[in-house]
Amino acid sequence: MNIIETDITEVKIIEPRIFEDSRGYFFESFNEKIFKKKVCDTTFIQDNEAKSSYGVLRGLHYQLPPYAQSKLVRVIKGEVLDVAVDIRKGSPTFKKWVTVILNEENKRQLFVPRGFAHGYVVLSKEAIFAYKVDNRYAPEYERGIKYNDEDIKINWQIKDCKITLSDKDKNNQIMKLTEIFK
């Protein structure tokens, strides 16, 4: 397993070692001992999976303490542009973001620590997205930021007219990052 540093120290890309032959492939998608030593000492408590079609954008989501979540995300089928945004007020990388292409070929994963908003957009015809979380879902602590917030200016690699949002994420459109941390 190769751990790739990003421009934000706490956000890591995990690149598995893939063993392929005529039968198919095998790779270790998670190893607690290696993860705790090289990425973060946390315990994941739940696995989730979502299927989406081209242009579906989910995010930018986060939960407030005490229910903040770290996530370990990957794509089982298809391709997404995955984004982690630092929303830790006072952090030297506040409002900075990391993007990575996750797909079924590269089998990369992204570790999104607590204190980061997370989102992704589907770039393929469809995608199956899987992720682990280290804290329970608490809807009363869930928040969202506009995917096209002017202060963070994420390049989603897809035209706005092709983006599909849930009603919940449409409601995020009223909340700007700068309004959250006044």
**Domain ranges for the chain:** 43-180
For residues 1 and 19, the answer to whether their CB atoms sit within 8 Å is: no
The residue to which tokens 């969202």 are assigned: 144
Given 62, 118, 120, 131, which residue is catalytic?
Answer: 131
> CA 39 → CA 11, 15, 103, 126, distances in Å?
9, 12, 21, 29
Q: Which residues, listed in sequence order, are joined to residue 100 by a DSSP beta bridge?
A: 82
Distance CA 100, CA 79 (A): 10
pLDDT at residue number 6: 97
For the chain, where are the E strands, in sequence order?
2-5, 12-15, 18-21, 24-27, 46-53, 57-63, 71-77, 79-86, 97-103, 109-112, 116-122, 126-133, 142-144
Class of domain 43-180: mainly beta
For the chain, what is the mean pLDDT? 93
Structure confidence at residue 171 as a pLDDT band (50, 70, 90): confident
61 is catalytic: yes
pLDDT at residue number 60: 95
pLDDT at 176 over 90: no
pLDDT at 92 over 90: yes
Structure confidence at residue 180 as a pLDDT band (50, 70, 90): low
131 is catalytic: yes
Per DSSP, the three-state class of 164 is strand
Dihedrals phi, psi of 164, to nearest 5 degrees: -115, 125
Residue predicted with more confidence, 33 or 177: 33
pLDDT at 100 over 90: yes
Mean pLDDT across 139-150: 92
Read off the pLDDT of residues 106-120 as tens digits, 9 standing for 90 and up.
Answer: 999 999 999 999 999
For residues 95 and 177, the answer to whether their CB atoms sit within 8 Å is: yes
pLDDT at residue number 179: 57
In this structure, the chain runs to a length of 182
State the Cα torsion 128-132-136-139 to the nearest 10°: -30
Given 54, 61, 67, 141, which residue is catalytic?
Answer: 61
Residue predicted with more confidence, 181 or 20: 20
- pTM of this prediction? 0.93
Mean pLDDT across 12-28: 95
pLDDT at 174 over 70: no
pLDDT at 64 over 70: yes
